[in-house]
Amino acid sequence: MRLHTRLLLLLSIIAGTTHAQNDRSASLNIGDPFPPIQVRDWLKGKPFQSFEKGQVYVLEFWATWCHPCIAFMPHLSALANEYKDKLTILGIDIYEEKSSSLEKVKAFVDSMGKRMDYVVATMDSSFTGLGWCKALKSEGIPLTLILDTEGRLAWIGHPKDMDEVLHKIVNNDWDIHEALAKRNLNKYLAALDDSLRWDLMKYDHDTFKPGSIDKPDSTLLMIDEIIKNEPRLKYATHIAYKTFSCLLQTNSSKAYEYGKVLMVTPVYEDPPYGVIVDAINEYAKKIEFPAEIYELGAAAYQAKIDHYGELGNMNIPDRYSKMADMYWRAKNKLKAIDAIQKAMATLKNEKDFSPTELALYESLFQQYKKM
């Protein structure tokens, strides 16, 4: 399908989705009145039967196995206390494993104490959790929804991004129409970026044909055509990976300049820091890059730690170790040593760290000192 046609098709799909929002069972979007609450069991806090106008509600979907969910519970508790007269936070347990009985979930909630200091409930069959998530087209957790004082869905996202939004909603300073337009645009760009990834593989080498090689110049020409039609895709995840990878193979200076902008340019999601480290690690097996490329890779690892480290699902010592390797390749001895020392320090702070992993980092530390 030609790119022009695909753009028009996706735009029509989004328009159709917007018009179909009256069918609450099919879709749910920003600006819609939120459906009535249904929960199975109230585990903590004062139960309530409806969303009252004049009150802001935060719905947080979580599970006992979800480490990022658990990592944000103390922060949610702090927000519940900060806005206690204007805000109700409801944590809804969904996606539990079959082995997690209600008693086990209750025990978890009790064990959190003040770190989970807000209303907590479990889902009612599939309605509250799975039904709402499917209607939102957002089925991963943690997932946060904010309802404004009119009972409308005002925001959908990750709890790490909610503070500024929540402040505006509580103070009636939130532009719900702008938020809807932004979400629809992000859905459009994400869908288009995803649909193009197979087209972008057209000029990759064929692993089943001996002697087949990549054709990065042809890929870059194709990307130029795509960007002419939709400039907002220039730093989107799949486009960005192919662009950066091809530039690494053809012009490392341009790759470096593109990568610096990519690091600070979110499109439909956070800046794709992983694009940079994945591409460098892939092509460093074949190409020796200048120091600035490895320094860029190290900066991408640091950005991932800064941005995602608090989520609780990242192996931070491993990221510091990989950062140290990037600095080592860049022949930056001091920064390589500093990064591997951070790897050792963060690992030792973990409750049940691996002595084998620590020994590996100590060995690398000695290696870097001898550079």
CA 155 to CA 18: how far, in whole Å? Answer: 16
Decide if 309 contacts 337 (C-beta within 8 A): no
What is 188-249 written as a DSSP string?
HHHHHHHHHTTGGGTTS--TTSTT----HHHHHHHHHHHHHH-GGGTTSHHHHHHHHHHHHH
Question: pLDDT tens digit string along 297-352?
Answer: 999 999 999 887 766 567 899 999 999 999 999 999 999 999 999 999 999 988 88
Angle at 109 between CA 107 and CA 113, to 5 degrees: 110
pLDDT at 361 over 70: yes
Least confident of 58-72, 247-261, 294-308, 309-323: 309-323
CA 61 to CA 121: how far, in whole Å? Answer: 10
Question: pLDDT tens digit string along 163-186?
Answer: 999 999 999 999 999 999 999 999
Q: Which residue has the higher pLDDT, 90 or 126?
A: 90
pLDDT at 100 over 90: no
Segment 92-99 shows an average pLDDT of 83
Segment 90-101 shows an average pLDDT of 85
According to the model, what pLDDT value does residue 241 have? Answer: 95
According to the model, what pLDDT value does residue 200 have? Answer: 87
At residue 25 the predicted structure's pLDDT band, cuts being 50, 70 and 90, is very low
Helix, strand or coil for residue 44?
Answer: strand
**Helix crossing, 252-262 with 291-308: angle to 10°?**
20
According to the model, what pLDDT value does residue 16 have? Answer: 47
Segment 266-281 shows an average pLDDT of 92
Q: What would the two tokens of residue 170 be?
A: 């509580």
pLDDT at 85 over 80: yes
According to the model, what pLDDT value does residue 81 have? Answer: 94
According to the model, what pLDDT value does residue 335 have? Answer: 97
Decide if 121 contacts 61 (C-beta within 8 A): no
Helix (H) or strand (E) holding 262: helix 252-262
pLDDT at 19 over 50: no
